[in-house]
Structure 1
Amino acid sequence: MKGANKRKIKLSLGDRVFNFTNVLIMLIISLVMLAPIIHVVCVSVSIGSEIQKGGLFLWPRGFTIEGYKKVLQDSLIVRTYLNTVIYAGLHTILVIVLTAFTAYPLTIKSFPLRKGITIFITITMFFSGGAIPTYLLMKGLHLIDNPAVMVIPFVVTAYNLILFRTFFAGINPSMRESARIDGAGEFLILMKIIMPLSKPIIAAIALFTIVGKWNDWYSALIYLNTQDYYPVQMILRKILFNSTAFNSMDPSIMQMFRNSTITPQNLQMATIVVIMLPIMCIYPFIQKYFAAGIMVGGVKG
């Protein structure tokens, strides 16, 4: 029987052509997606004279890390980088905790307001106040030019709430009943049973949330006026779109460009690499949970 199980399935010519075509298409798509990242990294470490010649960089021309040194030495970039870490970390924690606490009661059939709250939450998915009412709300809550505006708003959204509720409802109810018989309360059931079994959905929502908050510059543009409160994405925006940004970061930067092998493009690309590196490092650690979490709600039972 073991020998029979090890026998290879013979593929027809059509199957082999199909598999080869699929692999070729996926390789092409992967190269197209990787090319911009490779270009950014190569420009960030290439010498200025080669960058000024232009062209597509898929391999460094010369080598220098002066751009990275200047990025890591700039006090404004370091400060805003730490701001972004704090904003993204706190916001993600609040999203997971508060959404879980809100979703769990909606899975308890004996909860009398379960249906009404669910309908109310669903309505908010289709209707919103808009930008101006939201700004007035933030102003009324004294969150304008307040770092808390980057953390507190939108920690509980209808979409995340429905995903959590769907996942919680799919957990075997007998486990909750057993815990109740043993004397556990609802809070203990949530923390000791439901949350440990919900790693896939927690990982999926956490990844979406931290990436969204890490890349969030629009909220800072609208609600923050003090530069010390900015996330690093606002500084990157200035570097990419404002030719005077270099002067605002460091008075000696323009002189540095004249006396060294780097150009503003080195600094731009080095900043992009430094900003996207943490997200690229986080993803592999939660990938095993991500695939299961993203399928929540895809199968109806």
Structure 2
Amino acid sequence: MSRNRHLQTGTKVKTNLNERIMQAFIYLILIAFCLLIILPCLNVLALSFNDGKDAAKGGVYFWPREWTMDNYNEVFKDGSIMRGYIVTVGRVVVGTTCTLLCISLAAFALKEKLLPGGKLINFLITFTMLFGGGTVPTYIQYKNLHLLNNYLVYIIPGLYSVTYLMMMRTFFEGIPDSLEESAKLDGCGYFKIYAKIMMPLSKPVIAVVGLYTAVGHWNDWFSGAFYMTDNKKWPVQTVMQQMLSRAMSSEKEITSVAQAIAQSVGRVTSDSLKMAAVVITTVPILCVYPFVQKYFAQGAMIGAVKG
């Protein structure tokens, strides 16, 4: 009774010893996970700003010992990084926009109870989640569709995602039907209802799906490596993957550019170039998170309840 009285009056409830121990244990676990994520990132950041020859001696962990911007200057001298950035940014913008448009239109149609064959269509769409096409059949299919060495191979395969479609459809179903019925009485058609009612009210799920899609496009190196033989059409992640792959096989063969730099400059090493390249390809997408973070709880949790 006293605990309930405290809750009703708004006074602070004292926790017992067991609860405080449990809270401390949870905080310790969360802090440990944060450190596991943050410390490697700080190490990469420190090495990217540190003199390459000095870093090779060891002892540089979370703060540069000899500051320099040479690593970044030399990375950007390689035109493949900048070309990759242009391809990646274009892919993220166009791909995310097209995906949101296609998924939202499909979700709006599938949430309509009067859609002919709606249940069958929903079943068939969900059924596809059980199977994967496989790498070789997918490659053959893309070849038959003339998508190889075509920028559309970055866009078309990602236009639909069953998971995102179900999230958005469920979110649409949570919007009161009375809004749609009132709009119909005012003479609105389905497209106007979609554009004027559904989309403005669906900012949380749009933000979540949009961010996940953008991150997927940004981090995808596979499409460029397998479906693009023209390295001028590679996204920046594929450029990075090829660089790191060659570095793992031979530290002396990262790229011809890296070799020339190491010989002429003397302060830049293959490892310092790799660290700078990792930072360059990672930081931009991280800057997007703060702008959509407020939508995550509502968009991800409500949309994740499958009906």
TM-score by length of 2: 0.90
- Per the alignment, residue 82 of structure 1 pairs with 86
Cα deviation per residue 1:79-134 (whole Å; 9 max; x = unaligned)? 11110111122111111000111111111111112112111111111123322221
Match of 1:270 among 276, 282, 289: 276
Which ranges of structure 1 fall in alignment gaps of 5 or more residues? none
Match of 2:158 among 154, 160, 163: 154
> What SS does the aligned partner of 2:130 have?
coil
What is the distance in 2 between the residues matched to 1:6 and 1:242?
62
What is the distance in 2 between the residues matched to 1:227 and 1:298?
38
Q: Does the 8 A contact of 1:67 with 1:267 survive in 2?
A: yes
Aligned in 2, Cα 1:8/1:119: closer, same or farther, shift over 3 Å?
closer
- Per the alignment, residue 123 of structure 1 pairs with 127
Which ranges of structure 2 fall in alignment gaps of 5 or more residues? 1-7, 248-252
What is the distance in 1 between the residues matched to 2:214 and 2:225?
19
> What SS does the aligned partner of 2:115 have?
coil
Match of 2:199 among 175, 192, 195: 195
Q: Does the 8 A contact of 2:53 with 2:266 survive in 1?
A: no
1:235 aligns with 2:239: yes
Cα deviation per residue 1:24-63 (whole Å; 9 max; x = unaligned)? 2221221111111011001101112332123561221211
- Per the alignment, residue 4 of structure 2 pairs with none
1:293 aligns with 2:302: no
What is the distance in 2 between the residues matched to 1:7 and 1:169?
39
Q: Does the 8 A contact of 1:246 with 1:253 survive in 2?
A: no
Letter in 2 for 1:283: Y
Once the two structures are superposed, the pairs formed by residues 58-137 of structure 1 within 5 Å of their partners are 58-137=62-141
Q: Residue 255 of structure 1: CA displacement?
A: 2.5
Aligned in 2, Cα 1:65/1:56: closer, same or farther, shift over 3 Å?
closer
Q: Does the 8 A contact of 2:72 with 2:273 survive in 1?
A: yes
Q: Does the 8 A contact of 1:106 with 1:118 survive in 2?
A: yes
Q: Residue 250 of structure 1: CA displacement?
A: 6.5
Match of 1:246 among 244, 255, 260: 255
Q: Does the 8 A contact of 2:46 with 2:60 survive in 1?
A: no
TM-score by length of 1: 0.92
What is the distance in 1 between the residues matched to 2:91 and 2:297?
26
Letter in 2 for 1:44: S
Q: Does the 8 A contact of 2:87 with 2:234 survive in 1?
A: yes
Count of equivalent residues = 296
Q: Residue 20 of structure 1: CA displacement?
A: 2.2
Aligned in 2, Cα 1:128/1:13: closer, same or farther, shift over 3 Å?
closer
Aligned in 2, Cα 1:263/1:221: closer, same or farther, shift over 3 Å?
same
Aligned in 2, Cα 1:93/1:122: closer, same or farther, shift over 3 Å?
same
Letter in 1 for 2:263: Q
Once the two structures are superposed, the pairs formed by residues 213-224 of structure 1 within 5 Å of their partners are 213-224=217-228
Does 42-51 or 183-192 show the bigger shift?
Answer: 42-51
RMSD: 2.0
Letter in 2 for 1:177: E
Q: Does the 8 A contact of 2:254 with 2:270 survive in 1?
A: no
Q: Residue 16 of structure 1: CA displacement?
A: 2.4
Q: Does the 8 A contact of 2:70 with 2:268 survive in 1?
A: yes
- Per the alignment, residue 5 of structure 2 pairs with none
> What SS does the aligned partner of 2:129 have?
coil
- Per the alignment, residue 15 of structure 1 pairs with 19
What is the distance in 2 between the residues matched to 1:179 and 1:233?
46
- Per the alignment, residue 139 of structure 1 pairs with 143
> What SS does the aligned partner of 1:245 have?
coil
What is the distance in 2 between the residues matched to 1:63 and 1:13?
48
What is the distance in 1 between the residues matched to 2:262 and 2:116?
66
Q: Does the 8 A contact of 1:246 with 1:254 survive in 2?
A: no
Following TM superposition, the consecutive aligned residue runs of length 4 or more in structure 1 with deviations greater than 6 angstroms are none
